[in-house]
Amino acid sequence: MSDIAASPPAAGEGRKTSLLRETDRVRKRNAAERRFELYGMAAVGIGLLALAFLLLSILGNGLSSFRQTFVDVPVALDPVAIEEAEASVVKTSRYRDIIEGAFVSALEARGLLEGIDPEEAAGIISEEAPAQFRDYVRANPEAVGRPGEFTFLVNGRIDGFFKGRVTFESAELDGNVTPAQLRLAERLAGAGLIDTRFNWAFFTAPDASGQRPEAAGLGVAILGSAYMMLVVLFLALPIGVAASIYLEEFAPRNRFTDIIEVNISNLAAVPSIVFGILGLAIFINFAGLPQSAPIVGGLVLTLMTLPTIIIATRSALKAVPPSIRDAALGVGASKLQSVFHHVLPLAAPGILTGTILGLAQALGETAPLLLIGMVAFVGEYPDAPPEGLFDPATALPVQVYNWTQKADPAFVERASGAIIVLLAFLVVMNAIAILLRRRFERRW
Amino acid sequence: MNDMRITERAVDLSETKISARNVQVFYGDTHAIKDVSVDIADKTVTAFIGPSGCGKSTFLRCINRMNDTIDTARVTGDILIDGEDIYDRRVDPVQLRAKVGMVFQKPNPFPKSIYDNVAYGPRIHGLARNKVELDEIVERSLRRGAIWDEVKDRLDAPGTGLSGGQQQRLCIARAVATEPEILLMDEPCSALDPIATAQVEELIDELRRNYSVVIVTHSMQQAARVSQKTAFFHLGHLVEYGETGQIFTTPRDPRTESYITGRIG
């Protein structure tokens, strides 16, 4: 502005300036421009750096959770032993005896058992293995009596040894694993009995107790999150779109609708934990819905997502040019017809984009879910909807929170893995939103 | 100016189609139309001329109650179509707008196929019992819009893909598809080039056979070319209304004379 205020030299005054030389003023201006460009680049650089650091640390910690170490054990399914085990009080402990016996004799046969006592050697098999084994036996009764080759999870520490998390030095100080076990594991790996492969169970298995991180999976959390997204989609989308259409197309502009408008914007800014308290008070304490249930989580997230969807839908409706409404009204369409035949289809991509972004936001929300009890340990899958909506479940972000609370570093790896899964879902949803916007973008 | 006319000035004594009495329009506190009374004849092209903001478009939009869509707009006085007050409580504006078609300043085809653009009105009003009838209506309307020959091979193409002049003629075809009795045109050529304008003007003259056409225009030459009657609006008042030839050659009001000679406006 100040440049303009400076009076130019009067014409014909005779002050000659060469175009080939920068004047002081121009030099300063150009320097300022270059400086600003640098600031901008620095700002973008910091952002990118932060993102790279985040991705690097999460991928570095978490990618290993997609792989898991397994040990192959030949087990003869002795009918007598199995019958005895089924008759005992703590059935899995008898099954454990069967597995351990088979494992130790397999090691003996291969001469791998030197320098370690049999019980210590058997300790490298996961606590989860007897349950796995029993499930198999019960599911396949015809296999009893025949010898079989089984693949069991190994103990989380042994798994950590193959992933570089556990070393001989750390094992010296660790009560849960001994260097002798690690040496045995090394020998087994050399013999091809232990190997690390892709871990499907991470995506399908339910959470596991603190003693067996190797068995913990995201199955229940993914299901719970999916159920909640279903609830949000089926409630927030119709309610949000109906509210927006009414406010944008039908409602008169007066003080009352102004207040509503301001409050919808305010609602979008309410901290999510407040919605959690609201959900606890209304849906659980007042309406008596079960705790930890996806239906309650979905309802709370619906309340949270509604303002996002309403704001997105309203701006999508606003973006439809008024000439389209005029055209429809001009040929004698009613208000409703003009909205549903012309305006809404044109606004649909924007509405969908807003909805998907709202869902993505809801998917990553943790705080309100903590308050409605979704932070509980859930070891069983919920049923199929709609009944399953009332069964206990967890959610992806809450599972991350849960696992980061555990002492065992194996759970930290799992938490990072869960973050990767969560981020993958979010990236996919955002990508769909962007694709939709690109695909259906219209110009008038 | 007379040699530019494309219409013969056969202003026979056709009967009155629209009759406005003491119409006042307010937008909030703004008094946009001040006590306008006018009789518009059937099977005639009536032009509304006047400087920007004089209220001619506002008055036009009163005739099919498009002003209803503006919250703050308030209309008093009577507008009769065939003797019926369109602001009567019993009148449904949707029914009225089927009878009074409208063409807007900017061509505004729906972002749908050419066929659907024209078929939309007949569909929502139930004018066709089956596909064959609908096809007939679409063809007849496109012919009346003088655009049939250009689009008959691509009825499935989007209406927004046509040129500006074609779009406007498509909008006219869309307006006539609902069988209106009156056609309102709000500066239909202001977004068109001279060639497209000439085509639309020719079309307007054709339309006079079947409809009472009311056209708002900024261009005095256009009013002179296409209309039989002209109304001059200024600052919300209807200053002068009469036969087009008379308005442009021997205006009675000094304001009209100033406007058509270019001293105001």
Residues of chain B whose beta carbon is less than 8 angstroms from a beta carbon of chain A are 64, 66, 69, 71, 94-95, 97-98, 101-104, 106, 108-111, 120-121, 124-125, 160, 171, 174-175, 177-178
Identify the residue with better confidence: B225 or A86: B225
Using alpha carbons, select from A212, A151, A157, A201 the residue that is nearest to residue A179. Answer: A157
* Same domain for A290 and A193: no
* Same domain for A115 and A258: no
pLDDT at residue number B144? 84
- Reported confidence tier of residue A13, pLDDT bands at 50, 70, 90: low
A54, A64, A215, A416 from A60: Cα distances, Å:
10, 8, 21, 9
pLDDT at residue number A308? 92
Q: Is the Cβ pair B104, A330 closer than 8 Å?
A: yes
Q: pLDDT digits over B241-259, tens only?
A: 999 999 989 999 999 888 8
Domain end point (choices A199, A230, A259): A199
List all residues 6 or more positions away from A50 whose beta carbon is below 8 Å from its beta carbon. Answer: none
* Same domain for A157 and A68: yes
Backbone angles phi, psi at B129, to 5 degrees: -85, -25
Separation CA A152–CA A146 (nearest Å): 18
| Residue A263 touches chain B, beta carbons under 8 Å | no
Quick one: closest CA in A to B159, which residue? Answer: A444
pLDDT at residue number A318? 93
- Which tokens sit at B137? 């209506």
Question: Per-residue pLDDT averaged across A225-254, rounded?
Answer: 92
Where residue A332 sits, what CATH number does that domain have? 1.10.3720.10
Please check whether residue A207 is in contact with residue A394, taking contact to mean a CB–CB distance below 8 angstroms: yes
| C-alpha distance from B118 to closest chain A C-alpha (Å) | 10
* Same domain for A190 and A94: yes
Is the pLDDT score of A323 beyond 50? yes
Considering only the C-alpha atoms of chain B, give the largest distance between any 2 of them, rounded to a whole number of Å: 57
| Residue A12 touches chain B, beta carbons under 8 Å | no
* Same domain for A358 and A276: yes
pLDDT at residue number B131? 92
The identity of residue B12, as a single letter, is D
pLDDT at residue number A299? 93
Decide if B137 is inside a domain.
yes
Is the pLDDT score of A12 beyond 60? no
Residues of B in contact with A342 (CB under 8 A): 110
Is the pLDDT score of A15 beyond 50? yes
Decide if A229 is inside a domain.
yes
Please check whether residue B38 is in contact with residue B231, taking contact to mean a CB–CB distance below 8 angstroms: yes
Identify the residue with better confidence: A137 or B213: B213
Please check whether residue B147 is in contact with residue B166, taking contact to mean a CB–CB distance below 8 angstroms: yes
Q: What does pLDDT average to over chain A?
A: 87
Decide if B265 is inside a domain.
no
Decide if B120 is inside a domain.
yes
Decide if A204 is inside a domain.
no
Separation CA A157–CA A426 (nearest Å): 32
Decide if A37 is inside a domain.
no
Where residue B181 sits, what CATH number does that domain have? 3.40.50.300
* Same domain for A235 and A188: no
Number of domains into which chain B is organized: 1
pLDDT at residue number B5? 52
Decide if A56 is inside a domain.
no
Separation CA A268–CA A305 (nearest Å): 8
* Same domain for A310 and A365: yes
Residue A174: which domain range? 64-199
Q: pLDDT digits over A156-166, tens only?
A: 888 888 888 88
Decide if A36 is inside a domain.
no
* Same domain for A195 and A223: no
* Same domain for A244 and A141: no
Decide if A15 is inside a domain.
no
* Same domain for A242 and A279: yes
Residues of B in contact with A323 (CB under 8 A): 104, 106, 108
Question: Per-residue pLDDT averaged across A270-294, rounded?
Answer: 90
Number of domains into which chain A is organized: 2
Residues of B in contact with A333 (CB under 8 A): 94, 120-121, 124
* Same domain for A265 and A117: no
Residue B177: which domain range? 2-260
Q: pLDDT digits over B203-243, tens only?
A: 888 888 888 999 999 888 899 999 999 999 998 899 999 99
Question: Per-residue pLDDT averaged across A315-337, rounded?
Answer: 90
Decide if A409 is inside a domain.
yes
Decide if B201 is inside a domain.
yes
Question: Per-residue pLDDT averaged across A170-193, rounded?
Answer: 85
* Same domain for A242 and A105: no
- Reported confidence tier of residue A302, pLDDT bands at 50, 70, 90: very high
Alpha helix ranges (H) inside B84-130:
93-99, 114-125
Decide if B231 is inside a domain.
yes
Residues of A in contact with B125 (CB under 8 A): 332
Mark the ranges of chain B whose per-residue pLDDT is less than 70: 1-14, 265
Q: pLDDT digits over A361-395, tens only?
A: 999 989 999 888 888 888 888 888 888 888 888 89
Question: Per-residue pLDDT averaged across A51-65, rounded?
Answer: 90
Question: Per-residue pLDDT averaged across A280-290, rounded?
Answer: 90
